Structure 1
């Protein structure tokens, strides 16, 4: 992304224990991801419960979600994805919320913001990643401005596990870093640095029906596969 000229996108190195949870997502994969690990998530035990979209919508309406209101100069645009499976749809919705929460923490300049904490498992790699991204921007004195696009979305359920693997690309050739104090926008020319690939394991909350939280994450900057 354009802001990565000053703040590189972190490539998350998962621990050995976490790496054991990485598997291929199975059918519907893309040749662009050949040779890449994909996050499958941890087994919570028990069979997966089926749920109708209507029941999920009802449960979602009861979730007390943290508010995230972005300034008018920040636009996060997600590809529309049609998912018939209720769990997949809910997981993708909260994967979007997790991604938004990272940018919201940067905009608010708050590494302890409730947003990313709400949409990630406590103490998980996903929560650590979000906090570090926000803190790095704060420490450097930067926020963001412009548009980030989230594209090439794939959503797959991990067999017999209450876990959904979400992958997507980010395109930041219209997103720029902005100095907090001077409000100077750091404009740069489009390049491969604007593209990143994301893999996120979303886990169903045991406490809140309808809520999904990010657990494992892998983000790779300068992604050639996301430029296509």
Structure 2
């Protein structure tokens, strides 16, 4: 099983990764599978009862930002829980940006304090806060895969990220910061997830590795 062990220098939430056209238009269509905001995050539908019953952080997003997860729900309950919480970890990073709080509790809930994943989340959020930016547009995740260890308490989750319609936005002026579409809009994530010792059914991000300019994720 491939195991991510190092924090990538470049990550999917960097402002320079924002892509798309420069005509100033927005995609306001409601997208199937997207986070609509105002809802409490949960485990995947096929996750175990323990995973579904966890008291999770509520993460509300503005209407101009959506995260879309294009994937098939795993039939195995444990794999479904792992994948759902890997998605929740990525969701929590964006939530910290929206909240403009590099110490927000959501990403800490979905990550272990001694791994690279939590440091990664804090760094990405702080970049946005220090720059006076938030997020807007659409992030689309696809090609999800879960590789469980033989012990069943650790797993590697990988997926692609398409940021071609994801942008930074100045908090004060509301100006959307767009760049021309390029290979920099695509990332490949690998996240090591571990079974939480404190809450049965919860999986937390321990380590993360992000490949930039992941052209295998295009199309």
Q: State the TM-score, normalized to the length of structure 1.
A: 0.75
User: How do 1:68-217 and structure 2 match up within 5 A?
Assistant: 68-217=59-208
Distance in 2, Cα, partners of 1:110 & 1:142: 12
Q: Which runs of 5+ in 1 are unaligned?
A: 8-52
Distance in 1, Cα, partners of 2:148 & 2:68: 24
Alpha-carbon distance, 1:57 to partner: 3.3
Distance in 2, Cα, partners of 1:183 & 1:126: 29
Distance in 2, Cα, partners of 1:113 & 1:4: 20
More helix by share: 1
Cα contact 2:116–2:206 (8 A) shared by 1 = yes
Cα contact 2:48–2:78 (8 A) shared by 1 = no
The alignment partner of 1:110 has SS state of: coil
Cα contact 1:2–1:174 (8 A) shared by 2 = no
Name the CA shift for 1:2/1:209 in 2 (closer, same or farther; >3 Å): closer
Distance in 2, Cα, partners of 1:6 & 1:192: 9
Alpha-carbon distance, 1:160 to partner: 2.2
Match of 1:61 in 2: 52
* Structure 1 residue runs of 4 or more that deviate by more than 4 Å after TM superposition: none
Match of 1:27 in 2: none
Q: 1:4 aligns with which of 1, 15, 38?
A: 15
The alignment partner of 2:48 has SS state of: helix
Q: Which runs of 5+ in 2 are unaligned?
A: 1-11, 19-44
Q: Answer with 1 or 2: which has the greater Rg.
A: 1
Q: State the TM-score, normalized to the length of structure 2.
A: 0.78
